Structure 1
Amino acid sequence: MYQSHSILNPKYKLLAQLVLVTVCLLFLSSCNVVKRVKDGDHLITDNTIVEDGNTLMTERINNIVIQKTNSGMRKFFGLPLKLHIYNLARPNIDSILEANVLSDSLKVKRRIALFSEKQFNKQLESRRNFNAWLKRTGEAPVIYNEDKTEKTANNLRKYYYSKGWFNNEVNYQVEKDSNKLAQVTYNVIKHTPYVLDSINPYISSPKIDSLYPKFISNSLLKKGEQYDDDNFINERERINTFLRNAGFYHFGQDYIRFEIDTISTNHKVHTDLKIANRVIRGEDSVTIVPFKIYKIKEVNIFTDSNFENRFLPITDTTTHRNYNLYSKNKLKYRPKALTDAIFINKGDTYSDIARSRTQRYLNDLQMFRYPDIEFVENEEDTTLTANIRLEPKKKYSLSFEPEINTSNIQKIGFSFSTGLKIRNVFRGAETLEISGVAAIGASQDPAAGESRFFDINEFGGNIRLTIPRLFSPFKTTKIIPKFMSPSTSMSLSATSQQNIGLDKQSLSGLFSYNWYPSKTVTNTLDLFNVNFIKNLNTSNYFGVYTNSFNSLNSIAEDIGYIAEDEELYDDTLSTPYSPADVFISDVLTNNTSLTSDDDDYSTVQNIEERKERLTEDNLIFSTSFDYKKDKRKNIFDNDFSVFKWRIESAGNLLSAISNLTGAAKNDAGNYEVFDVAFSQYIKTEIDYIKYIDLGRQNVLAFRSYAGIAIPYGNSNSIPFAESFFAGGPNDNRAWSAYNLGPGSSNSTNEFNEANFKLHLSAEQRFNIFGQWHGALFVDAGNIWNVLDNVTDEASTFTSFSSLKDIAIGSGFGLRYDFDFFVVRLDTGFKTYDPSQTTSNRWFRNYNFTNAVYNIGINYPF
């Protein structure tokens, strides 16, 4: 018998609620959108540009429209939220208060008697302020304006003309209805475009005319290409740049002019390139002379110029490699340290590039404030004197930063970091930075018997020296010239932690080269990077990794190793090891009922292997190279890409030395240095980010990442610090950090990690109103073990079929932009969970109960 059900499935109930809310919002949109539109006026709901019969969605052309619709207004299902907020405001708040409150003297007296005159006035003022806030936050209705529409049509004509459609036609139609709404459609007919034909030069100055064959060979104006104003603008800039770098100090773009002829040319454009002579304007005369090429006569460097000593005489003078150095006090820099930063050389032809490179290099030194470069003309011999004035920064600067923090390890913690920066420490423009950090905290579960409140502490120090050149016994200027701003960094740091995890001490050293081949490219070569990590409290392993302990305890109870009411940490055995370690040893030596064929035996074996790896001391001696190409022009650019590649090799030098010296191996067959088996592996990572600006504060962002670390030689696994993890606010946001993977395994470990990772993300970011922004995102990826000592099939990447274990998360985010940083809240839902059975992976836990909520600072990529 058919039976109806009155109770909806929770999923469909939620869907019904969302549909109801959407319908209500649409109803509000249609009913109240014209609330503040006067009779006879019409609210613009849509601007449409139709080009040769096709509707255009291109943001560049749609931005030409002067009268934009209200934010959120669209042709279908629009919800102009800011307009609705504006409509909530009263246009005549003072009149309303006068009519409803102030005009009734008895009501005023009662309220003053009840509150007080001061509070009464504050209530009135608060209503006025709230009304003003609604207007500021909201957006006034955009009313159709005939003049602005005609101006938009003219701008469209100009735009298409600038792109070569000289005979274009633009007209518009306005559809108005009885609901005070209007839609504007602009119709564009382009007709036949014009293409470039001949270019004829008319150059007045003989020196420039002689260079014409050189600079025209790379012209942006190509015969047969469609006319485009932008190409002419860029060509003008290109020619100006070429001539400014060829010695024409007084040249500027104003001397370049293009004249085009399109009369009776059958849609061809004939171009005349005209470059005029130099114009020298006097008080009452104008002189026209040919442009001349200028050379550098002298380069003077004033090393200690500032406002306070501007009247003091120069007391220290020296000459180094044709550079003149002047100082009002004793010269504090080795001459070579300054002259190496100067690209303007005596006898060279004047060049804008040399000037800009000098400016950049001097800024990169971080020794001076606003370096000033001035050129003085010597008219008698057509030369320039370059005067470079430097204002040194203070030699010493001190920083101090206190911080209060909480985490899953500690209830509350206090840290204090301080740093001392010493400039020009060896008179070669070097920078020495000495920093230290001290932290104390209270753990969430202090050890029994501890009476002190602050049972967590961490201390560390770092010393770093930066040299503004490549510190090398070999000459490197031919490979990495100084215009790439090369520098060398050397650092040494040490930290010590107690009651944090297993407790550890770490010591690291770094010798690194950095240089910038172009404005967009950064290269870093870590020639030597040494990290030594010593775990101090390995006996606390099962106190930190409690899930592993619980698994052991459950197995021990199941096989009768301990009673059901007992736990392995009850120290009933007389042994220097913990009962959990004894149980592992008994299982692996076949002293229990478990055999090697049992799943529980494999679980114990895996726990032991993981424990050995996470408690072992690490010595990593590596060399790495980082390449980064960032095409972002500035912080406001939302149409760019970033490509990063890193490759790292560890342990090869130590392995070679051990082989050559015939060093002995330990019981595991590995070489040791300072009683620690050093790590040997090769690791590489590729990261690509792409932003696409959709206009109107809408951005589509993509990220793709791949990383792999392969152990070999002296290692059969990757150190925990060098492995990969998945999940978290900057990764797959449907899983918390370290909670995803490896592969399809349903791991209960606190920290899941592996040596191979794939990750993909797509996110659309949009403005809601004001500083509030939203996002819709999809994240995909996972981690796997590959070519190491892990044998669990669910955790390993065996072939391309393992790609079916890529986890997919989706969700939405809310962000608030403080201008200098962004606070975001992202909600991620497990869309495809590879840890579930194959038939239950899609939308298995796709609900708010199982969602992951991530709080982050700035965007995830």
Structure 2
Amino acid sequence: MKNISTKITTFIVIGIIISACDAEKRIPNHKQRLTKNEIFVNEKPSTNEEVSNQLYQKPNSTFLGYHLRLNLFNLADPNPDSTYQAKFTKHPGKYERMSKWLSAKQVDRLGQSFLYKGVDDFLKQVGEPPVIIDTTKSSKSLSRVNYYYFNNGFFNVNSKFKLDSLSPKRAKIKYTITTGVPFFIDSLTTKIQTPALDSLYATKKMNSFIQAGKQYNTKDFEEEKNRITTHFRNNGVYHFQSNNVTFDLDTLNNNKKVNVNLIIKDYSFQDKDTTRTEPFKIYKISDVNIYTDYSATNNSNVFTDSTTYNNFNLYSHSKLKYKPKAITDAVFITKGSLFADTRTVLTTRYLNNLKVFNYPTILYEVDKRDTTAQSLIAKVYLSPRKKYSLGTTFDVTHSNIQDIGIAGSLSETIRNVLNGAETLELSARGNIGSSKDLANPDSRFFNVSEYGLNAKLSFPRIWFPFKTEKIIPKSMIPSTLLSTGFSNQTNIGLDKQNVTGVLAYNWNPKKNNTARFDIFNVQYIRNLNPENYFNVYESSYNELNTISKTYNTNPSYVDPSTGDLIIEQGTAGFTNDVLTLVIPVPQEEYSTVLGIEERRVRLTENDFILSTGYSFSKTTKTDSKDNSFYQFRTKIESAGSLLTLIANASSLPKNQNGNFEIFNLEYSEYIKTEFDFIKYWDFSKEKVLAVRSFFGIAIPYGNSDYIPFSRSYFAGGSNDNRAWEPYRLGPGSTGAILDFNEANMKIALSAEFRFKIAGKIKGALFADAGNIWNVLDNTTYEPATFDGIEDLKEIALGTGFGLRYDLDFFVVRFDLGFKTFNPANEMGKRWFYDYDFAHSVFNFGINYPF
């Protein structure tokens, strides 16, 4: 019966698809659907997308060659209201029968429900109506094509179109374009009436977008207008606008050359009822007035407090609440300097970055005290944000550790806390959750918990005993972050406490560039329950327990009822006997026990990390819609070297392991570096190719022979290799034999092709490659270590596809990854061995993976 039902359902679905596949079912008689636009330029087929974009009508979109959106639209009933009413017309008694157990009003409303009308509305919205040929639009397309070529220097374009019928309801259109010979710039002359502007133009004339010998392009003229305007307005010409620049073009010759005359007339303005003209003036700033508590309600009130600091005038309606230097350091408009738009923009950015004011307003007015009328008063209006603000969050989460988690946080932000535009943020967070995978002897549902406290103090300048203006000028918008935090967690079974402290400087060397220098980043991790290790890391326990069943000779190490090692007494005793050769075992088993013990010591030891680091990032992305850019990030971090320098200089003794200690704890010493590069290519029509490459390595030395777990790398997950779950890939070819697999070197490469499916639903095809390895540390297990270039053959490859739903402010992402090349498998079973849905990995994420 089940097979019969399945077959019936399959036939119904196939029938629906076949009925929808009649692409012309919604085409009226004597009309035709556009199937293709053919463009021929100078008798050759053209695939130029810019030319194609000039056409008003384009064929219906396809998905892998299938008219998905068109067929979805065809599935919809064009008149669901009439169809619903027709049911009662054909069966007159049906309406009365339905009205007996539903009211007449409810029966009428049923016709507007999702079942009868909503489904059709949804299909119409997601689908795409057939593109019916309109020759009027084709004629308008020719006008746009001609205009496009004209703007690119082809002044004698001829074009036409021809309708080619393929069937009574299908046709294609052939566009034929003859461009002729393009025109080139022959000469550029200028006629600038204001002498001061003529001299100013001459200083940057060599940067002109209009050059002799260059093919005519309208875009160059617009960019030249903007270039001149920017140059003038950054050199004091306050009243200058781009429309003050005009061009006179001379093409009255037969040599396809264009003579360009650039014209800038004197300043023309309205003075009461008459229009006056005078030469442009170059303005200087005579005063900078800063209003520190401006609002629409107090605009007309008298100022009760004011001060002058470094030629800046500060005003307040109440007592001035800010140190003058904190405000004036953010203002780049200075008395005696020329008016410049760049100074206005930079001042706005810096003031907004203080986070104690709303977005500032900067206005200029001509100083009437100057008889030459060549001075401006700059007025900076600042509206303070609320001094205190409270924030809360509440989340229900799911992760590879927690089956369900409930998290919340409470934060208090205090602005201008030290009257120098500083911001103090105090926050508390908490989380409780449930995980069936963790050790839970009491069988409690909420067996995961965490709470933490944080304090962050931000300074809008470099907080340092000495002046740093020459090294990091204020134009780079520097800031200082001082933070500390504490957390207590039981979410991995070892019950950790974590104390952190950071002193970091941030600045922007150039536009779209950011830099950060951590003077110190300190972290202390204390494991409160290390004896619970083998209850948490069950894979390690199972491997150790299996070896003990063959070689253990001490009955006190095992539970008599099960024959398994007792945690902690039995695991510790058996491991010690093996490593001290009390119990002789083969070399392979000895290496396995040694590896398990080294990892246990590493993950249960308390860690103290004092590091210094520098990170730099650069992006060419202009806004959230930009899909043609690159992004580069690099980081270098050094931990423990300062402590070792102090210890050596102070001749401090080493412990029995030959290492230095601080607070009776061996501190970590390593150097770590990372490189991350992302590149996007926009193929238009919402088709985007994104590529990411990552390399990271952390090398222990001196006081350490391994990297702390918190600073190591893992592979797998929704933002990494999506064919593996987090921590389930590597190291090397080991096959993730441990519970949480990590290492100190990582390579990752990803490529993703994104495309539109229907409406806001997007699709993606992706390939993720990479792995992690142990290198130059105390790990001796050969399959997990990177010994040379030949180990690159252990790079895993995952491929798959995904769906995205664009909600404008964020993207909901679903990905399905398949293990295409698995280095953990034996030879002959590495390629496509588990390439099926049963072994695939489903990933859910917010926003794109990179």
In the superposition, the TM-score normalised over structure 2's length comes to: 0.94
Residue in structure 2 matched with residue 378 of structure 1 by the alignment:
367
- Kindly indicate whether the alpha-carbon contact (under 8 Å) linking 1:312 and 1:328 is maintained by their aligned counterparts in 2: yes
Report the Cα distance in structure 2 between the residues aligned to 1:829 and 1:614, rounded to whole angstroms.
Answer: 31
Report the Cα distance in structure 1 between the residues aligned to 2:284 and 2:718, rounded to whole angstroms.
Answer: 57
Report the Cα distance in structure 2 between the residues aligned to 1:201 and 1:576, rounded to whole angstroms.
Answer: 89
Indicate whether 1:432 and 2:415 are aligned.
no
Call closer, same or farther: CA 1:818–1:653 in 2, change over 3 Å. Answer: same
Report the Cα distance in structure 2 between the residues aligned to 1:577 and 1:628, rounded to whole angstroms.
Answer: 47
Superposition pairs of residues 385-534 of structure 1, within 5 angstroms: 385-407=377-399, 409-410=401-402, 412-442=404-434, 444=436, 450=442, 454-498=446-490, 500-534=492-526
SS at match of 2:216: coil
- CA deviations over 1:509-530 (Å, ceiling 9, x no partner): 1111111122211111111111
Report the Cα distance in structure 2 between the residues aligned to 1:91 and 1:22, rounded to whole angstroms.
Answer: 20
Report the Cα distance in structure 2 between the residues aligned to 1:406 and 1:735, rounded to whole angstroms.
Answer: 17
Report the Cα distance in structure 2 between the residues aligned to 1:339 and 1:507, rounded to whole angstroms.
Answer: 37
Report the Cα distance in structure 2 between the residues aligned to 1:778 and 1:234, rounded to whole angstroms.
Answer: 40
The CA deviation at 1:259 is 2.0
Call closer, same or farther: CA 1:474–1:217 in 2, change over 3 Å. Answer: farther
State the AA in 1 paired with 2:428.
Answer: G
The CA deviation at 1:564 is 15
- Kindly indicate whether the alpha-carbon contact (under 8 Å) linking 1:562 and 1:568 is maintained by their aligned counterparts in 2: no
The CA deviation at 1:157 is 1.7
SS at match of 1:635: coil
Call closer, same or farther: CA 1:54–1:809 in 2, change over 3 Å. Answer: farther
Residue in structure 1 matched with residue 577 of structure 2 by the alignment:
586
Indicate whether 1:266 and 2:255 are aligned.
yes
Unmatched segments (≥5 aa) in structure 2: 1-9
Residue in structure 1 matched with residue 78 of structure 2 by the alignment:
91
Deviates more, 1:733-742 or 1:157-166: 157-166
State the AA in 1 paired with 2:634.
Answer: W
Report the Cα distance in structure 2 between the residues aligned to 1:500 and 1:753, rounded to whole angstroms.
Answer: 15
SS at match of 2:204: helix
State the AA in 1 paired with 2:77.
Answer: R
Report the Cα distance in structure 1 between the residues aligned to 2:218 and 2:660, rounded to whole angstroms.
Answer: 68
The CA deviation at 1:626 is 1.1
State the AA in 1 paired with 2:466.
Answer: F
Residue in structure 2 matched with residue 724 of structure 1 by the alignment:
713
The CA deviation at 1:416 is 3.2
Residue in structure 2 matched with residue 542 of structure 1 by the alignment:
534
Report the Cα distance in structure 2 between the residues aligned to 1:611 and 1:568, rounded to whole angstroms.
Answer: 25
Call closer, same or farther: CA 1:230–1:410 in 2, change over 3 Å. Answer: closer
Superposition pairs of residues 798-837 of structure 1, within 5 angstroms: 798-837=787-826
SS at match of 1:798: coil
Residue in structure 2 matched with residue 857 of structure 1 by the alignment:
846
Report the Cα distance in structure 2 between the residues aligned to 1:48 and 1:453, rounded to whole angstroms.
Answer: 65
Indicate whether 1:631 and 2:620 are aligned.
yes
Superposition pairs of residues 644-655 of structure 1, within 5 angstroms: 644-655=633-644
Call closer, same or farther: CA 1:846–1:451 in 2, change over 3 Å. Answer: closer
The CA deviation at 1:756 is 1.2
State the AA in 1 paired with 2:463.
Answer: F
The size of the alignment, in residue pairs, is 836
* Equivalent residue in structure 2 for 1:67, among 47, 57, 63: 57
Residue in structure 2 matched with residue 11 of structure 1 by the alignment:
none
State the AA in 2 paired with 1:298.
Answer: D
Call closer, same or farther: CA 1:59–1:25 in 2, change over 3 Å. Answer: farther
Deviates more, 1:169-178 or 1:634-643: 169-178
- CA deviations over 1:508-559 (Å, ceiling 9, x no partner): 1111111112221111111111111111111111011000000011111133
- Kindly indicate whether the alpha-carbon contact (under 8 Å) linking 2:552 and 2:583 is maintained by their aligned counterparts in 1: no
The CA deviation at 1:446 is 8.4
Report the Cα distance in structure 2 between the residues aligned to 1:245 and 1:517, rounded to whole angstroms.
Answer: 20
- Kindly indicate whether the alpha-carbon contact (under 8 Å) linking 1:813 and 1:827 is maintained by their aligned counterparts in 2: yes
Indicate whether 1:81 and 2:73 are aligned.
no
Report the Cα distance in structure 1 between the residues aligned to 2:46 and 2:702, rounded to whole angstroms.
Answer: 60
- Kindly indicate whether the alpha-carbon contact (under 8 Å) linking 1:71 and 1:80 is maintained by their aligned counterparts in 2: yes
- Kindly indicate whether the alpha-carbon contact (under 8 Å) linking 1:59 and 1:694 is maintained by their aligned counterparts in 2: no
The CA deviation at 1:494 is 1.1
Report the Cα distance in structure 1 between the residues aligned to 2:15 and 2:794, rounded to whole angstroms.
Answer: 41
State the AA in 1 paired with 2:424.
Answer: L
Report the Cα distance in structure 2 between the residues aligned to 1:555 and 1:475, rounded to whole angstroms.
Answer: 64
Report the Cα distance in structure 2 between the residues aligned to 1:459 and 1:547, rounded to whole angstroms.
Answer: 28
* Equivalent residue in structure 2 for 1:772, among 739, 756, 761: 761
- Kindly indicate whether the alpha-carbon contact (under 8 Å) linking 2:188 and 2:211 is maintained by their aligned counterparts in 1: no
Residue in structure 2 matched with residue 556 of structure 1 by the alignment:
548
State the AA in 1 paired with 2:51.
Answer: I
- CA deviations over 1:653-690 (Å, ceiling 9, x no partner): 11100100111111221111111111111111111111
SS at match of 1:580: helix
* Equivalent residue in structure 1 for 2:36, among 26, 32, 46: 46
Deviates more, 1:96-105 or 1:188-197: 96-105
Residue in structure 2 matched with residue 57 of structure 1 by the alignment:
47
State the AA in 1 paired with 2:232.
Answer: L
The CA deviation at 1:195 is 2.3
SS at match of 2:111: helix
Deviates more, 1:752-761 or 1:222-231: 222-231
Report the RMSD for the aligned CA atoms in angstroms: 2.6
- CA deviations over 1:421-474 (Å, ceiling 9, x no partner): 111111100001111123344553787774976554322111111000111122
Call closer, same or farther: CA 1:328–1:146 in 2, change over 3 Å. Answer: same
The CA deviation at 1:25 is 9.7
The CA deviation at 1:306 is 1.1
* Equivalent residue in structure 2 for 1:193, among 162, 182, 202: 182
State the AA in 2 paired with 1:46.
Answer: K
The CA deviation at 1:93 is 3.5
- Kindly indicate whether the alpha-carbon contact (under 8 Å) linking 2:700 and 2:776 is maintained by their aligned counterparts in 1: yes
State the AA in 2 paired with 1:178.
Answer: S
Indicate whether 1:166 and 2:155 are aligned.
yes
SS at match of 1:491: strand
Report the Cα distance in structure 2 between the residues aligned to 1:736 and 1:321, rounded to whole angstroms.
Answer: 59
Residue in structure 2 matched with residue 14 of structure 1 by the alignment:
none
Report the Cα distance in structure 2 between the residues aligned to 1:60 and 1:719, rounded to whole angstroms.
Answer: 54
State the AA in 1 paired with 2:817.
Answer: G
- Kindly indicate whether the alpha-carbon contact (under 8 Å) linking 1:201 and 1:273 is maintained by their aligned counterparts in 2: yes
Report the Cα distance in structure 2 between the residues aligned to 1:568 and 1:509, rounded to whole angstroms.
Answer: 49
Call closer, same or farther: CA 1:35–1:571 in 2, change over 3 Å. Answer: closer
Report the Cα distance in structure 2 between the residues aligned to 1:612 and 1:154, rounded to whole angstroms.
Answer: 76
- Kindly indicate whether the alpha-carbon contact (under 8 Å) linking 2:552 and 2:574 is maintained by their aligned counterparts in 1: no
Report the Cα distance in structure 2 between the residues aligned to 1:832 and 1:411, rounded to whole angstroms.
Answer: 29
The CA deviation at 1:53 is 4.6
The CA deviation at 1:79 is 2.1
SS at match of 2:828: helix
Residue in structure 2 matched with residue 132 of structure 1 by the alignment:
121
Residue in structure 2 matched with residue 242 of structure 1 by the alignment:
231
State the AA in 1 paired with 2:590.
Answer: Y
Residue in structure 1 matched with residue 7 of structure 2 by the alignment:
none
Indicate whether 1:295 and 2:287 are aligned.
no
Deviates more, 1:374-383 or 1:486-495: 374-383
SS at match of 1:369: coil
The CA deviation at 1:577 is 5.1
State the AA in 1 paired with 2:708.
Answer: P
- Kindly indicate whether the alpha-carbon contact (under 8 Å) linking 2:395 and 2:408 is maintained by their aligned counterparts in 1: yes
Report the Cα distance in structure 1 between the residues aligned to 2:501 and 2:469, rounded to whole angstroms.
Answer: 26
* Equivalent residue in structure 2 for 1:226, among 215, 219, 242: 215
State the AA in 2 paired with 1:520.
Answer: N
- Kindly indicate whether the alpha-carbon contact (under 8 Å) linking 2:558 and 2:570 is maintained by their aligned counterparts in 1: no
SS at match of 1:579: helix
Indicate whether 1:277 and 2:277 are aligned.
no
Report the Cα distance in structure 2 between the residues aligned to 1:445 and 1:637, rounded to whole angstroms.
Answer: 42
